[in-house]
Amino acid sequence: MSITIHTDVPLKNYVTMRLGGRARFMADLHSPSEIHEIVQRAKEQQLPVFVLGGGSNTLVHDDGYQGLVLRNRIPGFEVIGETASDVTIKVGAGESWDDVVRRTVEMRLSGIEALSAIPGTAGAAPVQNIGAYGQEVAETLISLEAYDEQTSQIVTLSNADCLFSYRNSMFRSSALGRYIITSITLRLFKAAPAPPFYKAVQEYLDERSTTLYTPEVIRQAVMAIRADKLPDPKERPNTGSFFKNAIVEDWQLNDLKKDYPDIPAYDMPDQLYKIPTGWLIEQTGLKGQLLHGMRVHDKNALVLINESATSYEDLATARTEIIGAVRDKFRIQISQEPLEM
């Protein structure tokens, strides 16, 4: 086998939170054809397998991973279909997600421009159904190809097969660990983006009297907003939004409004409402605070920055305190966004 397997690899060098132990084995995937043999070899040795993309949405425990970590580096970017109104593009799972967005914006295609500057790989995008500023990947993803560890075959899964929901899919719920995504197929649009845009984006455009809307204009706006609100993980270790926004039922929201009439909430399907978890954390007084080496970001309380934590246990203790503070004040149980190895 041409694939190189490394041993005793410090995982903190491969995740953006810069915490965690070592991987017993690690290898890079560059082609779907490499997957079957290496997965079968791991099964024969009873080794669990974990697929790692850019490491921007993954946490590693202090005892590391006693199995095989596969870093997905499968390349590819090709136009596979076009009509008068849209273009269909197939992307290798190992491609940088933001590079994919940049290339589609350069093609003057809309549909994922508001997902600019999200770190990680294209293959990781459907796993948590990445979303930001009014868009989510489920809106443009037609299908994906993946290696199914149960059948040992490359399969094609439709959008519906993926069971997308808010920051979720079957890949991090009912089918956790079953599939290794090798490519994704997106349908993007030739029409220019149209208002109304997400509030923060619209405010940014209005402040600059921008009325000509192109994918490039929206991309630059989103990148500027993100740069102001989110610290660069290369400079300040973090996983972006650490907590998911809270989802509550209408009776819960009505109950909360009695004590907090200014609580922000956004409509979702099925009579559910999204409450910004950053706002909830801010109300507890924890915004900007340092907890066990983890800083609650002073510009966006959804973000935890590793300033001086030395272990996953430090992070876990800080997380527990934040979740407890929100629960005690609002009777809402918030949950983290990153996956754990």
Fold exhibited by the domain 238-340? 3.90.78
Where do the CATH 3.30.43.10 domains begin and end in the chain? Answer: 5-72
Q: What CATH code is assigned to 77-189?
A: 3.30.465.10
| All CATH 3.90.78.10 domain ranges in the chain, comma separated | 238-340
Residue 41 reports pLDDT greater than 90: yes
Q: Is 18 among the residues known to form the active site?
A: no
337 is catalytic: yes
Per-residue model confidence (pLDDT) at position 3: 87
Q: What is the mean pLDDT of residues 276-293?
A: 97
Cβ–Cβ under 8 Å, residues 65 and 341? yes
Q: Which of 34, 241, 295, 319 is catalytic?
A: 241
Catalytic residue among 22, 167, 219, 295: 167
Q: Is 33 designated active site?
A: no
Contacts of 331 (CB under 8 A, 6+ apart): 252
Task: In whole angstroms, give the CA distance from residue 245 to residue 183.
Answer: 28
pLDDT tens digits along 103-128: 999 999 999 999 999 999 999 999 99
pLDDT (tens digit per residue) in 221-247: 999 999 988 999 999 999 999 999 999
Task: Catalytic residue, from 34, 136, 145, 337: name it.
Answer: 337
Q: What is the CATH number of domain 5-72?
A: 3.30.43.10
Q: Per DSSP, what are the bridge partners of residue 189?
A: 86, 110
Q: What is the C-alpha to C-alpha distance for residues 338 and 242, in angstroms, rounded to an integer?
A: 6
